[in-house]
Structures are given as structure tokens and as C-alpha cells.
Chain A
Amino acid sequence: MPSEQLYRQLILDRYHQPQYRGQLARPDAQAKETNALCGDWLSMQLTIESNVVTAAKWTGEGCAISLASADLVSEHITGRSLTEADAISEKDVLTWLGIEIKPARLQCALLSLACLRSSLLSGQTAENDVS
């Protein structure tokens, strides 16, 4: 895939003007993940009410692919039940990005998913702690 297609407008828009970048005041779940290959990092925060993700925000440093991916994942999980959020797959994330990713850049595209999964796990742990 030529880079003009890889860096299609959606990816660049999300990179330049992310809609979900920021911090939640009182997150119910959060986690940070780093890309061991390059040192980039992503942190994700979720608000969970009645088993539904009602808000998601992210912060981090990374390439256009990884940050656009974080923004798209945040958008797609907002309003979803925890069961639905748990079921989000690599294929889903790649579909939302809408681009063909070479193996060398797959970790960039999927750092957001790793971060989401860790966040959801941290939420479970927090619930258990309360009970």
C-alpha cells in the first residue's frame, strides 16, 4: 500500500486533531502500555457505569498510526458494554483504521488494543477490590 493510502485523511485528521486525547477526572479503569520495539507509549482511561464504558480518553507519544488508532478505539468503545469492549479484536481495530498495515507497523496499530485490554483488566481488579 503506497503511503498516500496508508496516511489517508482519516488517520492524519485523528493524528492532528484527536477527539479523545486527554485525561478523565476520576477514571474507573486505566493502564499504560509501551511499544517495546520503539519506546512509544500509550495510556488509556475509562469511565464505567453499569457495565458500560461511558467515557474514554488517552494520552501518549507515538506515530500517526498508533495515535490515530488510540483515538479510533476510544471512539468505538464509548457506549459499549464491557462484554462488547472485551470482544474487540485486532481485526476490528484494523477495520476502523481502514488501511493495510505491514508487519513492521502492526505493533503501532495495535498498541491501542493492548492498552484497552490492560485498562479493562485494571477495571476488573478495581471492582474486585471494592467487593
Chain B
Amino acid sequence: MADIDSIQADFPVLQKRINNKRLVYLDNAATSQKPAQVLAAVADYYQHHNANIHRGIHTLAEEATAMYEQARQTVRQFINAQSAEEIIFVRNATEALNLLAFSWGMANLQRGDEIVLTEMEHHANLLPWQRLAAQKQVELKFIPVNSDGGLELDESIITRRTKLVAFTHVSNVLGSVTPAKRLIDLAHQAGAITIVDAAQSVPHMPVDVQSLDADFLVFSGHKMLGPTGIGVLYGKRALLEEMPPFLVGGEMIKEVTYTHATWHDLPYKFEAGTPNVAGAIGLAAAIDYLASIDIHAMQKHVQQLVGQAEAELSAIEGVTLYGPAGHDRYGIVAFNVAGIHAHDLATILDDEGIAIRSGHHCAQPLINKLGLTAAARASFYIYNQPADVVALVNGIGKAQHMFKER
């Protein structure tokens, strides 16, 4: 089992120097870095096995197909789906959510129905429903978020008219975790189906779709050590089978005439065109890598860093933290420094080799609800170290000194 304190060596990019400083990468909620094992798996596929899948009879096509389908099995096991047919490879969580809005939403929603979201959704889990609501004259309702970044859940918001409850598992701005199981149970009692946006949770905690009883669950590979351009849509087989395809074209058909086509079985019905074979293989390598680390040791490591950041940042005069206190924060610390815009802070920290995110974090309604136009966000992952928090604190000190009114 890999030692959590010595895994930096597995991440080549961490050797890079930024402005002649050690790279301190604290933008993991945007995308994670990739271990050499993932890079090697992708290179190995292209160097030794590359072919188009499912159609070719030759050796490479068989190898590539087997590797792609093995990757699907790896993902199935990772989230404990009942069958591999319930794992659809997509580009990312955004594409999965758009697929659901287009395919499930257009087929299943009618005028007067309601969709329940939370006030802390990433734009990816808001805009597809906004558009659908306008097209189908469906009402959007929002579970309010309180000042601690928790949900103010009044169960009466979910009614008999509610057809869908779609929510983030972990907020990409605040790091707060939502009561997924409770929301899913409430939705099911009302006869609604559920979508879990697990983009920020899957990298940090074990997620079991069967114990959650999630109808759909989506995530991106690149936030959990995998390549960009590969993501996962999980759906219960019965729901996926009822749904029309999203994209149509190659790979997803049984029979085609000039005027008609019949769709392939799951999961291929939703995977039109040549898929991201290398991406799926890279994602499987990332899952294998995560599996080689004790997940509880990893969680403890990240939580310790978050706790350290929380303690040290809140001790700085002029720093305001947002979101939940203590261990309810999953990998993310959002904050502002009085008198310094988050962009200016990010620029000054970059000088020190420190990468943070600044702005509205693709959750503009939430940022505005908090009374802000922008916030700084430091987000941690397995390869971060206590020294990274110290660098962040020192960098903030430098920014405060630079911005001091003279």
C-alpha cells in the first residue's frame, strides 16, 4: 500500500518550478494532477494497443475493446454499480448532466412538474435544468443554503409534483457535504428520481450507488487523478433502458436503413461515435491508483490539511472563511482577504508558485447569495503537504503587505 506521505514522487508535475519556486498546487477542485501510473497507462494504450473498438476483427481492435470494457468494469466496481451496462462513458460530469436533461428530461417531464435543486449547484447542474424548465414549462425550486454552507432542508419542498431532485454531493465552492441519502429517500417517497453530482465527492470519499439508492450519479475523471475528457454517467438499468439516446451516429445502433434505425443495447446506446478509449483506460488506472492507497488514510490526510488551513487562515487578521467549520469541509477552503480581490491574491500567490482558484467558481448564484462577487479557493488532495498550507499563509502575508495602504 502506498504511503500517503511519500506519494509526491508519483506526480511528475510537482517537480516543476513556477517563477523559480516550488509548485504548491491548491487548485485540485478544478482538476487534480496525474500520477505517472495514469500517464503510463495512457501512453501504453497508444503505443501498443491503439485501435477503434467494438467493430474491428483484428488483434489490436480486440485488445483495445477488451481494455475499454475492462475500464468499465473497474468503474462499476469503484462505485458498486450492479452491472457494467449501467456505466456510460461521457466527457465529464457536465456532459452527463446535459445528457440526462436532454434524454430523461425531455421524455419524462411535463408542464407543471417540478425540479428540486439546491442553491449551491455548480452551473453544470443548474443550466441544463434552466433550459429544460423553459422548454417544458417546468418549475425549478431550490433548497436554500445557510451561512455555514449547509442545506436548510424543509421536507415540504419535495411534493407530488416533484419529478426530479438533482443535487451536488459536495459543494465545489464551500466543500460542504449534502445529506445525499436523506434527499434520495425523500425524493423516492414522493415518487421522484434523483441525480447526484458527485464530481467533488468521488475523489474524496467512497461512493456506493447501491447503498445510496441513487437513480443517476455523475462524475468527471480529471478531478480524481484521471485524464481530462472522460467522465461517467451511472444510471439504474431500468431508467436507462427507457431513455432515448442523446447523440446518435456510429457505434450506438443495431440496424440502420435510409429512413430508420434501431438502438443498440446498454451501455452503447449512449456512446455514439468513437469514444475516448485512452481516457477510459487512464480513468481505470486512476481508480487502481486510488485503490492502492488506504482511502481512510487519504481522507484523514486531506482533512488534516483542511483543518490546518482553516486554523491558520482564520488566525490571520482580515481573512474571512466561508462554509462549514471543522471536518464537514471536503478538501476545500473558500475565503477572502479584506481589501484584496481574489484575482489579485491569486496573481500574487502565483508569483510564489502557489496555484489557487479565484472568482465565482462556476457557482455565481451561490457566490452572490453569500454577498460576494468573488472568492479565493484553496483545494487539497492526496499529494499536498502541511508545507503547502504554510506557503499559502506566507503568500497571503506577502499580499497583505503589498496591498497595505501607505
Contacts and interface: CB of A to CB of B under 8 A. Distances in A.
Interface string B375-406: 00000000000000000000000000011011
B402 A63 contact: no
A34 to B, nearest CB: 9
Nearest to B350: A3
A53 B112 CA distance: 53
A7 B344 contact: yes
Given A3-B351, A61-B373, A38 B344 contact: no
Nearest to A9: B406
Given A3-B348, A63-B344, A39 B403 contact: no
B373 A40 contact: yes
Contacts, number: 56
B374 A39 contact: yes
- Of B343, B364, B368, B374, the most chain A CB neighbours within 10 A belong to B343
Contacts of B364: 39
B374 A4 contact: no
Nearest to B405: A16
A40 B359 CA distance: 9
A41 B360 CA distance: 13
Given A2-B351, A3-B351, A7-B348, A38 B343 contact: yes
Given A39-B367, A61-B373, A3 B402 contact: yes
A37 B360 CA distance: 8
17 contacts: A3-B347, A3-B351, A7-B402, A12-B402, A16-B405, A38-B374, A39-B364, A39-B367, A39-B368, A39-B374, A40-B341, A40-B343, A40-B374, A41-B373, A62-B341, A63-B341, A105-B343
Given A63-B343, A65-B343, 20 more contacts: A3-B348, A4-B402, A6-B347, A7-B344, A9-B406, A12-B403, A37-B359, A38-B343, A38-B358, A38-B359, A38-B373, A38-B374, A39-B360, A39-B368, A40-B373, A61-B373, A63-B342, A65-B344, A105-B343, A108-B343
Interface of A: 2-4, 6-7, 9, 12, 16, 37-41, 61-65, 102, 105, 108
